[in-house]
Amino acid sequence: MEKLKQAIETHGKCVSDEVVKVDQIINHQVDCALMDEIGQAFYDYFKAKPIDKVVTIESSGIAPAYACALRLGVPLLIIKKAQPNTMSDPLFAKVFSFTKRKAYSICVEREYLKPGEHLLFIDDFLANGEAFKGAEELARQAGAVIDGVGIVIGKQFQNGQAYLDKHGYDVYTLAPIKEIKDQHIIWAE
């Protein structure tokens, strides 16, 4: 998605050869018009699939996941990074955050993930795939099926893409990064 890549190049910052900071447009301050176009792109790609719910992990994936779920006409399920005291029957999984460099539990109310439901997982970044693996584990526990994975920015030089490919997931990455070198992004074809 060229507009997204241009926004990343204009407003993003390469912090290292592994980290791109895009908090001005995606995960701290949100460019709502860009998120709307991202939601449309995911919708266009996944609209033929029998999606029952769009799923993301709080908080950076919420905006693109919402924009897509709205178009698909299905609920958005937000996986929590901490169990609220109102959650009565949670499912749990462990996740290691690449950017925060720590492990934490994620959870979802069991009643919101039903056996046989078809899910579309959307997230802002794909690095080593840990967030996805956590969502995958919650879906497995519930008996739900992940039919697609939408990634806003995918760092293909890390392990996440290989994991998704190995397990046969239908992945659509809007801004795939081949590598980051000398503070510049090299886009994958």
Q: Which residues are annotated as a binding site?
A: 27, 127-131, 155
How is residue 6 written in tokens? 């241009």
Binding-site annotation, residues for 5-phospho-alpha-D-ribose 1-diphosphate: 127-131
> Strand runs (DSSP E) across the chain, as ranges?
13-14, 20-21, 53-57, 76-79, 90-97, 102-109, 118-126, 145-155, 171-181, 184-187
3-state SS, residue 143: coil
Residue for token pair 């956590």 = 134
Which residue, 105, 121, 187, is CA-closest to 153?
A: 187
Binding-site annotation, residues for xanthine: 27, 155
